[in-house]
């Protein structure tokens, strides 16, 4: 056999198969919006970068930085403190509060903002009660803090997001060894000393990861800062694109947002790499909770109950009272159209995202090529990218493609099909899939990693194809994890606001956009039923999260 006969055989073996090609295609679709944002920012039709730098960009950056670090600091303090208390001490209500502290995750921050303003505004119950109690006649008779302000925005966002830090810190504190705690106690360290010198350093990587998530979600927020009139980079994208009609300028601001997010991710990974601790004992013994009595027990209960009350009880109570007072809104056809739209786009996006995640992970495992393996971790960037950034990266190139296809068909057939991609919910579903692809990909990778390779080899030896092996071997063992991923992606789609506002078709409302629009018109009563439905969906996800972290 000659060398020329061997070469084609090697070429055939190196030729990528359909699973490898499909995996690369999915990865490129997920990454494409980010690349589009960078391309539009680098080559805008009208370069307003000098104008942005000299006018609004410094204010956007300053407000975003204040918001990020303020929310990050409060969330770190509240989440870490509550996690330490429930993990290390026993006090009245601890068992209930351990799970109740997760419930603020069910309240979107923008819903919390509407509830806080309604509760504290001039006509709200707090100021009304103060005027009746002290006999004040008008706002000139007393001083009350400004509600729609930077401070209020930090408070609302912190109340909604501290559970990210709390969940990761609680798990880290629970996994620590009781031996280290006992050694510190034998050396004379008090309760605060053990927390500062032992517990906190060991949990620092988990806390840093939680704070990074909080800061990224803060950058992504639009509903809260828009309602409180705080100009951030995200509101700047909306202003420059929709008000000034400058897509290039919006892409340039989006690039700044993306840079901030990448820096946060890099800092989080760096902090975790530099702080590694290992349990060298073969007999790991968990920490024994110390019982608290008297005023210490009451203080611990109050410290854990207060953030739960601010983050869940207050907004849920205010919204529920309005929903019960405005029962006629529940039969409004617009509400149920928004609900059906939410169910449709969220359900389709969840199915597409999970199916694509499974295909990508399975394709990478089957592929012997480097490119799919290199692209796999990059596909998680969509989850870190704010919805407004993805909106810029999806709508502009998709609109150009849509117009080109429509013009081409019109020239060939004389039939005007209109805008098929951007005129329908396609762009919205694509944005959801890209934004939350990391959830599906992570769940598929973890679930597939728990399946023994011997089972797949046995199926292949029995003549099953690669696709049959996926459906007959992997799917039954991954079904529970994929169901959880479907639910989590769907819930995030329901709550997503910035991308929905930018990409929804004309006269197409979801529950999130209905809440935002009605509340922006100061009509909390009409916004309340939709907000209740969003909260109910969020509670389902929190229940699943609590079950997974028992």
What's the 3-state SS for 354-368?
A: HHHHHHHHHHHHHCC
Average pLDDT over residues 471-495: 88
Cα distances (Å, whole numbers) of residue 147 to 156, 161, 525: 11, 19, 19
Whole-number pLDDT of residue 541:
80
Average pLDDT over residues 446-469: 83
Q: What percent of the chain has pLDDT over 70?
A: 89
Q: What percent of the chain has pLDDT over 90?
A: 40
Whole-number pLDDT of residue 44:
82
Query: Is the predicted pLDDT of residue 273 greater than 70, yes or no?
Result: no
E strands in 200-325? 290-291
Task: State the Cα–Cα distance between residues 57 and 64, nearest whole angstrom.
Answer: 10
Whole-number pLDDT of residue 9:
40
Instruction: Give the global pTM.
Output: 0.86
- Pick the more confident residue, 191 or 227: 227
In which element (H, E) is residue 264 found? helix 247-274
The answer to which of 102-111, 141-150, 188-197, 390-399 has the lowest mean pLDDT is 188-197
pLDDT in tens, 414-426: 888 878 888 889 9
DSSP string, 169-232: HHHHHHHSBHHHHHHHHHTT--HHHHIIIIIHHHHHHHHHHHHHHHHHHHHH--HHHHHTT---
Q: Residue 436 corresponds to which tokens in the numbers above?
A: 């939350």
Are the beta carbons of 118 and 202 closer than 8 angstroms?
A: no
Whole-number pLDDT of residue 103:
92
Average pLDDT over residues 497-502: 91
Task: State the Cα–Cα distance between residues 67 and 155, nearest whole angstrom.
Answer: 10
Query: Is the predicted pLDDT of residue 8 greater than 60, yes or no?
Result: no
For each of the domains in the chain, give its residue range(s) and CATH number, in order of start: 326-550 (1.10.3720.10)
Are the beta carbons of 251 and 502 closer than 8 angstroms?
A: no
Cα distances (Å, whole numbers) of residue 1 to 4, 6, 13, 15, 78: 8, 8, 18, 22, 73
In sign, the C-alpha dihedral spanning 497, 498, 501, 505 is negative
Query: Is the predicted pLDDT of residue 47 greater than 90, yes or no?
Result: no
Whole-number pLDDT of residue 191:
64
pLDDT in tens, 169-184: 888 888 776 656 655 5
Q: Looking at mean pLDDT, say which of 254-258, 345-349, 378-382, 521-525 comes out highest.
A: 345-349
The answer to which of 22-31, 363-372, 488-497 has the lowest mean pLDDT is 363-372
Whole-number pLDDT of residue 12:
43
For residue 46, name the pLDDT band (cuts at 50, 70, 90): confident
Are the beta carbons of 253 and 240 closer than 8 angstroms?
A: yes
Task: State the Cα–Cα distance between residues 7 and 454, nearest whole angstrom.
Answer: 32
Are the beta carbons of 90 and 130 closer than 8 angstroms?
A: no
Task: State the Cα–Cα distance between residues 68 and 395, nearest whole angstrom.
Answer: 27
Query: Is the predicted pLDDT of residue 5 greater than 70, yes or no?
Result: no
Task: State the Cα–Cα distance between residues 217 and 452, nearest whole angstrom.
Answer: 36
For residue 402, name the pLDDT band (cuts at 50, 70, 90): confident
Average pLDDT over residues 201-210: 82
> % helix / strand / coil in the chain, to the nearest 5?
80, 0, 20
* Number of CB atoms found within 10 A of residue 329's CB: 19
Indicate the pairing of strand 290-291 with strand 89-90.
Answer: parallel
Whole-number pLDDT of residue 366:
85
Whole-number pLDDT of residue 241:
84
**φ, ψ for residue 88 (rounded to 5)?**
-115, -15
Task: State the Cα–Cα distance between residues 107 and 312, nearest whole angstrom.
Answer: 7
Average pLDDT over residues 6-26: 67
Dihedral (C-alpha) 240, 242, 244, 246: value to the nearest 10 degrees? 70
Whole-number pLDDT of residue 412:
87
Q: Residue 267 corresponds to which tokens in the numbers above?
A: 């800092």
* Number of CB atoms found within 10 A of residue 444's CB: 24
Whole-number pLDDT of residue 274:
53
Helix axes 475-495, 333-366, angle to 10 degrees: 140
Residue 111 β-bridge partners:
none
pLDDT in tens, 339-377: 999 999 999 999 999 999 999 999 888 887 788 888 888
Task: State the Cα–Cα distance between residues 176 and 206, nearest whole angstrom.
Answer: 12
Mean pLDDT of the chain: 85
Whole-number pLDDT of residue 6:
40
For residue 225, name the pLDDT band (cuts at 50, 70, 90): very high
pLDDT in tens, 427-452: 999 999 999 998 899 888 888 888 87
- Pick the more confident residue, 14 or 314: 314
Whole-number pLDDT of residue 32:
92
Query: Is the predicted pLDDT of residue 386 greater than 70, yes or no?
Result: yes
Average pLDDT over residues 480-484: 86
Whole-number pLDDT of residue 107:
92
Q: Looking at mean pLDDT, say which of 334-343, 380-389, 419-428 comes out highest.
A: 334-343
Task: State the Cα–Cα distance between residues 534 and 263, nearest whole angstrom.
Answer: 31
Average pLDDT over residues 387-411: 88
Query: Is the predicted pLDDT of residue 199 greater than 80, yes or no?
Result: no
Task: State the Cα–Cα distance between residues 361 and 19, nearest whole angstrom.
Answer: 10
Shortest CA distance to 38 belongs to which of 265, 260, 259? 259
**φ, ψ for residue 277 (rounded to 5)?**
-130, 145
- Pick the more confident residue, 494 or 471: 494
Dihedral (C-alpha) 232, 237, 243, 244: value to the nearest 10 degrees? 110
Rounded to 5°, the CA angle 64-437-394 comes to: 65
Average pLDDT over residues 377-393: 85
Task: State the Cα–Cα distance between residues 498 and 502, nearest whole angstrom.
Answer: 6
Residues 6+ away with beta carbon under 8 Å from 257: 219, 233, 234, 237, 386, 388, 389
pLDDT in tens, 290-311: 888 899 999 999 999 999 999 9
Whole-number pLDDT of residue 177:
64
């Amino acid at each position: 056999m000659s060398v020329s006969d061997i070469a084609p055989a090697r070429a055939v073996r190196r030729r990528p198969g359909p699973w490898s090609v499909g995996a690369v295609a999915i990865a490129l679709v997920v990454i494409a919006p980010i690349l589009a944002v960078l391309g539009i920012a680098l080559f805008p039709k009208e370069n307003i970068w000098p104008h942005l730098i000299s006018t609004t960009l410094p204010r956007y950056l300053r407000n975003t930085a204040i918001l990020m670090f303020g929310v990050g600091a409060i969330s770190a303090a509240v989440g870490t403190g509550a996690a330490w208390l429930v993990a290390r001490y026993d006090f009245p209500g601890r068992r209930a509060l351990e799970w109740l502290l997760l419930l603020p995750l069910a309240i979107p921050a923008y819903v919390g903002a509407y509830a806080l303003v309604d509760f504290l505004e001039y006509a709200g119950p707090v100021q009304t009660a103060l005027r009746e109690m002290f006999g004040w006649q008008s706002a000139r008779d007393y001083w009350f803090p400004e509600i729609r302000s930077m401070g209020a925005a930090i408070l609302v966002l912190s109340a909604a997001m501290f559970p990210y830090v709390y969940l990761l810190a609680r798990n880290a504190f629970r996994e620590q060894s009781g031996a280290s705690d006992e050694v510190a106690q034998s050396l004379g360290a008090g309760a605060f000393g053990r927390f500062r010198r032992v517990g906190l350093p060991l949990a620092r990587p988990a806390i840093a990861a939680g704070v990074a998530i909080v800061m990224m979600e803060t950058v992504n927020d639009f509903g809260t800062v828009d309602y409180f009139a705080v100009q951030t980079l995200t509101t700047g994208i909306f202003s420059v694109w929709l008000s000034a009609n400058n897509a290039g300028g919006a892409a340039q601001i989006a690039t700044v947002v993306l840079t901030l997010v990448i820096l946060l991710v890099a800092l989080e990974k760096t902090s975790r790499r530099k702080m590694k601790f290992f349990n060298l004992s073969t007999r790991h013994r968990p920490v024994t909770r110390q019982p608290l009595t008297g005023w210490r027990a009451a203080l611990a209960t109050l410290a854990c109950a207060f953030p739960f009350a601010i983050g869940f009880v207050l907004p849920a109570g205010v919204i529920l009272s309005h929903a019960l007072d405005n029962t006629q809104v529940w039969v409004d056809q617009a509400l149920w159209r928004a609900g059906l739209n939410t169910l449709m786009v969220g359900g389709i996006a969840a199915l597409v995202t999970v199916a694509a995640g499974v295909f990508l992970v399975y394709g990478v495992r089957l592929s012997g090529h480097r490119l799919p393996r290199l692209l796999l971790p990059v596909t998680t960037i969509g989850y870190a990218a704010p919805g407004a950034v993805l909106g810029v990266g999806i709508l502009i190139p998709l609109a150009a493609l849509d117009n080109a296809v429509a013009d081409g068909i019109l020239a060939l057939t004389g039939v005007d099909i209109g805008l098929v991609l951007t005129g329908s919910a396609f762009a919205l579903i694509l944005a959801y899939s890209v934004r939350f692809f990391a959830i599906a990909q992570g769940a598929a990778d973890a679930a597939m990693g728990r399946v023994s390779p011997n089972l797949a080899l046995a199926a292949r030896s029995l003549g099953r194809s690669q696709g049959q092996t996926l459906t007959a071997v992997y799917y039954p063992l991954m079904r529970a994890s994929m169901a959880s991923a479907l639910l989590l992606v769907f819930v995030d789609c329901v709550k997503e606001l910035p991308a929905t506002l930018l990409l929804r078709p004309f006269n197409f409302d979801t529950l999130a956009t209905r809440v935002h629009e009605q509340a922006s018109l100061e009509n909390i009563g009409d916004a309340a039923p939709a907000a209740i439905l969003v909260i109910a969906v969020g509670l389902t996800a929190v229940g699943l999260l609590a079950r997974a972290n028992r």
